[in-house]
């Protein structure tokens, strides 16, 4: 492949809802572009059964099916795909250099859409019941627990937000926290402490997720000091101990916040480097939804196309 062939109008890093939506917009604007899919083609949604809140699917759709359709749509408009992970990025000059699978690609513009992953406790029983009671997203899965008891694990702002959101659906929310005070902001902590549906279990950790072939049926929690255990009859466990944005390849090149999220500046999908755009969960610690990722993917695709067109007209 010649240098000429390896030069793209845009390279999209990531093939979740953000990256693939950016690709649809780049393709429809007739921009030569490459989507480097990473080792989770389709992104986080491919790990979930039912998606009920993506517009256009009133009966719901499985995550893998939805992402297959989005990829098909991107391919229809001319996307090139590479199932590799980007190992190195050089953003010091344009065209930007992107290394993946032992090759170097050049990009006039870049769209960073590497997503984020939820942190879990790392227990075997937790992994066994992922998607069958264990979740890391109340907005995504809270609806399935109408009238049931659930647990939320954590004590920061995210855990408090998840617990408060779940009060719309669940009958009782057990908040399991390993310390004797919440790390969340005072206003959030006060709302949680005073909510009649939320029961806080202080100084407790998860000992075991319990269940059978049908899914999760309970949770054993433990006082780490005394070893005393207690069983809760909950059908859902929402782990809310943070997310890890996939921004390792950006370290030292773009500003990241204390949790590792990419910091945006100068526009809704803009980074401090002209021509480098970001979309989806990689820069979103607030919403973390497929439709919001797709929305910013659209914006990044349009912004990159316009930049290339403006430069071609110069």
Binding site for ligand FAD (CB under 6 A): 13-19, 36-41, 43-45, 47-48, 51, 53, 85-86, 113-115, 118, 137, 140, 246, 249, 280-282, 288-291, 293
| Tally of helices (H runs) and strands (E runs) in the chain | 8, 19
For every residue of 96-111, DSSP letters joined together read EEEEETTEEEEEEEEE
| Closer residue to ligand FAD in complex, CB, 23/305 | 23
Q: Which of 191, 196, 199 is nearest to 174 (CA)?
A: 199
CB closer to ligand FAD, 161 vs 281: 281
Q: In residues, how long is the chain?
A: 314
Catalytic entry in 9, 140, 160, 207: 140
Q: What are phi and psi of 190, to 5 degrees?
A: -65, -40
Is-catalytic flag, 137?
A: yes
140 catalytic? Reply is: yes
- Strands (E) in 47-148, as ranges, are 50-51, 61-62, 80-82, 86-90, 96-100, 103-112, 116-118, 134-135
Nearer Cβ to ligand FAD (47/168):
47
Q: Which is nearer to ligand FAD, 118 or 232 (CB)?
A: 118
* Smallest gap from residue 52 Cβ to ligand FAD (A): 6
CB of 71 to ligand FAD, least distance (A): 10
Among the options 9, 141, 207, 284, which is catalytic? Answer: 141
Q: Are 34 and 110 in contact (CB under 8 A)?
A: no
Active site residue 160: no
260: which residues sit within 8 A by CB, 6+ positions away? 244, 245, 247
Q: Considering beta carbons, is residue 48 or 305 the nearer one to ligand FAD?
A: 48
The DSSP symbol for 84 reads -
CB of 251 to ligand FAD, least distance (A): 12
Nearest residue (CB) to ligand FAD, 11 versus 188:
11
Question: What are the backbone dihedrals phi and psi of residue 141, each rounded to the nearest 5 degrees, phi first?
Answer: -115, -5
- In whole angstroms, give the CA distance from residue 104 to residue 109: 15
Q: Nearest distance from residue 199's CB to ligand FAD, in Å?
A: 25
The span from the CA of 173 to the CA of 164, in Å, is 9
Q: Given the residues 9, 137, 160, 207, select the one marked as catalytic.
A: 137
CB of 237 to ligand FAD, least distance (A): 13
The catalytic residue positions are 137, 140-141
């Amino acid at each position: 492949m010649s240098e000429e062939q390896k030069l793209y109008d845009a390279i999209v890093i990531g093939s979740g809802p953000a990256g693939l939506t950016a690709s649809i917009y780049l393709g429809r604007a007739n921009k030569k572009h490459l989507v480097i899919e990473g080792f989770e083609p389709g992104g986080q949604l491919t790990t979930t059964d039912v998606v009920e809140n993506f517009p256009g699917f009133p009966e719901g759709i499985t995550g893998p099916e939805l992402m297959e359709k989005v990829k098909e749509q991107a391919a229809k408009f001319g996307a090139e795909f590479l199932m590799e992970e980007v190992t190195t990025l050089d953003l010091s000059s344009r065209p930007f250099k992107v290394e993946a699978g032992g090759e170097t690609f050049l990009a006039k513009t870049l769209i960073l859409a590497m997503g984020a992953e939820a942190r879990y406790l790392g227990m075997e029983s937790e992994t066994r019941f992922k998607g069958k009671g264990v979740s890391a997203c109340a907005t995504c899965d809270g609806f399935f627990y109408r009238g049931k008891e659930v647990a939320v694990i954590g004590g920061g702002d995210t855990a408090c937000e998840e617990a408060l959101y779940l009060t719309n659906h669940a009958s009782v929310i057990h908040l399991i926290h390993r310390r004797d005070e919440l790390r969340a902001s005072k206003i959030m902590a006060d709302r949680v402490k005073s909510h009649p549906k939320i029961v806080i279990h202080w100084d407790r950790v998860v000992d075991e997720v319990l269940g059978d072939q049908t899914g999760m049926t309970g949770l054993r929690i433990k006082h780490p000091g005394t070893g005393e255990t207690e069983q809760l009859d909950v059908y859902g466990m929402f782990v809310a101990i943070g997310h890890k944005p996939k921004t390792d390849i950006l370290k030292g090149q773009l500003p990241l916040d204390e949790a590792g999220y990419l910091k945006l500046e100068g526009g809704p999908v803009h980074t401090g480097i002209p021509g480098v755009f970001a979309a989806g969960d990689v820069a979103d610690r607030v919403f973390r939804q497929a439709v919001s990722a797709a929305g910013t993917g659209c914006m990044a695709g349009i912004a990159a196309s316009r930049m290339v067109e403006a430069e071609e007209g110069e």
